[in-house]
């Protein structure tokens, strides 16, 4: 944090240490992961209106246009490597 201006600047250093301790409930984590997984693939709940990123077209690219077809073919080639 800088205080003052010009040639009379002073630097204040602040250091704060915080220690935490927590435990992970594996069963609860698995239940949450399972629910999110099911909601994602069934497009329900949190993911109801969430489009897959690979299906979102870039700006100024029309669906089924030459640019769209070329970009999808490029993505396919990259993912097959």
6 — pLDDT class (breaks 50, 70, 90): low
| In-domain check, residue 8 | no
Q: Per residue in 18-77, pLDDT tens? A: 888 889 999 999 999 999 999 888 888 878 887 777 777 777 788 778 776 676 555 544
Please tell me the total count of domains within the chain: 1
Separation in Å, CA 9 to CA 3, 15, 16, 38: 6, 20, 23, 57
Nearest alpha-carbon partner for 55 in 72, 36, 80, 41: 72
| In-domain check, residue 56 | yes
Distance of CA 50 to the CA centre of its chain: 13
Domain extent for 30: 25-80
The pTM of the full predicted model, rounded to 2 decimals, is 0.42
């Amino acid at each position: 944090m800088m205080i003052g201006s010009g040639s009379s600047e002073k630097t204040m250093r602040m250091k704060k240490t915080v220690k935490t301790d927590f435990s992970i409930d594996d069963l609860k984590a698995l239940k949450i992961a399972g629910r999110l997984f099911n909601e994602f693939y069934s497009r329900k709940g949190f993911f109801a209106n969430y489009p897959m990123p690979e299906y979102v077209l870039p700006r100024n690219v029309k669906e089924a246009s030459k640019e769209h077809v070329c970009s999808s073919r490029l993505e396919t080639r990259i993912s097959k490597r």
